[in-house]
Amino acid sequence: MKINRLFYLIIILNFSCVTTKTALKDFNNAEYFDAANKFEKSLKDGDAKNSFLLAESFRKSNRIWQAGDFYSNAINYGIKNEIAYYYLVLSLKANNKYDEADSVISNYLVNAKDQSVIKLINKESIYINNLRNYPDTSYYRVKNLTAINTKYAEYSPSFSNDKLFFVSNRKSEKIYKGTGTPFTDLYEVKTRGANVDINSLKKLEDNINQEKVNEGSITFSSDGTYMIFAKGNNGKSSGRNNVDLYWSRFRRGGWTNPRLLNVNTSRSWDSTPYLSKDGKTLYFASNRSKGYGGTDIYKANVNRRGRWINIQNLGPEINTPGNELFPSVTEDGRLYFSSDNHEGFGGLDIFVASRRGGKITIKNPGKPLNSSGDDFGVNPYNPTRGFFTSNRDGGSGDDDIYTFVNNDPNLKIVNYTLKGTTLTPKNDNLDLSILGNSVVKLVDTSGQIIDETFTDENGTFAFTVYGDENYILIGEKENYFSTRGEFTTIGKELDKSTLKDFITNVEFEKNLILDRIVVNKSIVLDNIYYDLDKADIREDAALELDKLVVILRDNPNISIELSSHTDDRASVEYNQDLSQRRAESAVYYILSKGITENRIIAKGYGESQLIIANAKSEEEHQINRRTEFKVTSYEFIDSSGSEDEEEKFFNNN
């Protein structure tokens, strides 16, 4: 009998060891649902490491509310990783256990050492305290879209051309091991706002939806003929980060075979896309390197070739050490997104980012738009109505799609738009002609690019601008000097309290004039004056030279000669020496502003290149006394990037 008992004990121990090993393998392969089941079966009292891994498996399979007890056990068993305290707090908050979360925070801070965790914990403590003061209601009204929701997951709604597109795993029999739920597909249904024609519900074509592959969030151009969507997670260990964005066009009654979008990187999760109304800006979420945390929100601009360039992180005001994803943008420039690290009620919360005076303000719209569950995927189809997703209590099952209405009686929408045209002088005279196919950037006073666009053949451009802010417009085109112009909305805002209409559109105009680059053509710099017989740079001359510094910075592909000229009222030798010293003095000033030495040379011409020979008046002598520059070499740099350049960039970043 003793032998039999020992035999069974050995079997049990071996089984536990094997289960733990396979659980760890599943965890490392991002198969978190299976990992959680196996860790639960093999877990022993006192096992800090595997208690933590079990909790992590719950968190990473979107079940953080189930993870709390196991984070707590890991802490009690002596886990060294202090991040367990932070995730325990998040789990308690997701279960509305604010007092218990406060207690964990207080106990942790007594002996805390990890400064990064301390920072997260202190911020969460403030958030939890503020949550107690949030009202239980707001002007938002929400309703479950019961016509399409099932016990399975329905999420990421996208409204286009009287159809609602969404993601669901309702009819898939294959299980994705990362979450333990069926693989997801894309569906469409005809709808007028929230009135769904359920008889029109259908799954998108087989070339879009594939078996054993998760299709995810989707977005459309304004005419509904171009879509971008997420696809990935084929269930294989090698594919655990293989979530990418694809594009397809609607032609001859169907969607073309999806093709990879060039914004993806090979080693990152890229998903939750959103196309701006004009189709020129793509917002998406990614966990690529050099971000601020888990997943960050990025944006990219489309060039004339249809490729997405200028990929830009939205910055630390939006992105945090946590996860930010599911962006969408309203017509007046407000950004909806979801985050698990801004001040929320638990899990993912919906936030609204607004810009004014050059500063971004993040606001939680409160309940009932948000809940203690995951709330995400806002898709506004007009200024007050839209769709979103939530797995809150009271739904049909997993994630459900909801509608929302903003009934704020004081809500007024003002759309500020800056429009203009890129122009160029005709044949050295004052007449201007249209300069099409240019690049125009909207830049703030710190040099940060806010937006970028490509003009059409008519040279037109348009940007959404915001109140109480100074801007710089920069125009660029091959074989032309990049030029800039200033614009401000300061003092131009409307008082919303005086407006009668719900939506008011305000348009401003600012044109840009780009001069053609002609090598060895002299360009006079106005108002470069020197004191008598001196070469020192005066303050008024410095202001004019600063403009040339800007030209050199905006045009890094040119090299110049800066020349100084005198009148003929002194000896030839004296004038030659004076002009050389003045040219060198101007060049030294420009170099002091950060321009590299190999891009500029100084040349004094003395009186050898008089514009007016035999000048009589002081005005004529002044015309001869001038400072000029001319482009000596020019190399076109294609800012849109070739495929090889982009591939190199993405692989290196």
Tell me: pLDDT of 151 over 60. Answer: yes
Q: How far apart are CA 270 and CA 263, in angstroms?
A: 8
Predicted local confidence at residue 639, as pLDDT = 52
Measured between its terminal Cα atoms, the distance across the chain in Å is 64
State the greatest distance between any 2 C-alpha atoms of the chain, in Å, as a whole number: 127
Tell me: pLDDT of 649 over 60. Answer: no
Predicted local confidence at residue 239, as pLDDT = 42
Predicted local confidence at residue 475, as pLDDT = 95
Work out the average pLDDT over 259-269. 91
Compute φ and ψ for 442, nearest 5 degrees.
-105, 120
- What CATH superfamily classification does 2-131 receive? Tetratricopeptide repeat domain (1.25.40.10)
Q: How far is CA 84 from the centre of its chain?
A: 30
CATH second-level architecture of 413-513? Sandwich (2.60)
Which tokens hold the place of 478? 């091959």
Which tokens hold the place of 623? 């015309």
Class of domain 140-406: mainly beta
DSSP string, 294-318: SSEEEEEEE-TTS-EEEEEE--TTT
| pLDDT tens per residue, range 62-85 | 888 889 999 999 999 999 999 999
Could you tell me the pLDDT band of residue 16, with boundaries at 50, 70 and 90? low
Cβ proximity of 226 and 220 under 8 Å: yes
| pLDDT tens per residue, range 326-336 | 999 998 899 99
Q: CB under 8 Å to 597, separation ≥6 — which residues? A: 591
Which tokens hold the place of 620? 């004529």
* Most confident of the following: 4-13, 389-398, 522-531: 389-398
| pLDDT tens per residue, range 465-513 | 999 999 999 999 999 999 999 999 999 999 999 999 999 999 999 999 9
| pLDDT tens per residue, range 419-454 | 999 999 987 667 899 999 999 999 999 888 999 999
Domain map (residue ranges) of the chain: 2-131, 140-406, 413-513, 523-634
Helix, strand or coil for residue 624? helix
| pLDDT tens per residue, range 191-205 | 988 899 999 999 999
Predicted local confidence at residue 2, as pLDDT = 47
Predicted local confidence at residue 623, as pLDDT = 86
Which tokens hold the place of 193? 């706002």
Q: CB under 8 Å to 284, separation ≥6 — which residues? A: 245, 263, 270, 271, 272, 273, 274, 297, 298, 299, 300, 327
Tell me: pLDDT of 550 over 50. Answer: yes
Q: How far apart are CA 237 and CA 221, in angstroms?
A: 34
Q: How far apart are CA 198 and CA 404, in angstroms?
A: 20
Class of domain 523-634: alpha beta
Could you tell me the pLDDT band of residue 176, with boundaries at 50, 70 and 90? confident
Predicted local confidence at residue 62, as pLDDT = 80
Could you tell me the pLDDT band of residue 171, with boundaries at 50, 70 and 90? confident
Work out the average pLDDT over 539-568. 92
Tell me: pLDDT of 234 over 80. Answer: no
Predicted local confidence at residue 295, as pLDDT = 95
Residue-level length of the chain = 653
Other C-beta atoms lying within 10 Å of the C-beta of residue 463? 22
Predicted local confidence at residue 638, as pLDDT = 58
Bridging pattern class, strands 413-425 and 483-488: unpaired
Predicted local confidence at residue 158, as pLDDT = 97
Compute φ and ψ for 517, nearest 5 degrees.
-80, 120
- Which sign, positive or negative, has the C-alpha torsion 473, 542, 594, 582? positive
Tell me: pLDDT of 363 over 70. Answer: yes
Higher-confidence residue of 292 and 1: namely 292
Helix, strand or coil for residue 511? coil
Predicted local confidence at residue 410, as pLDDT = 87
Q: What is the DSSP letter of 66?
A: G
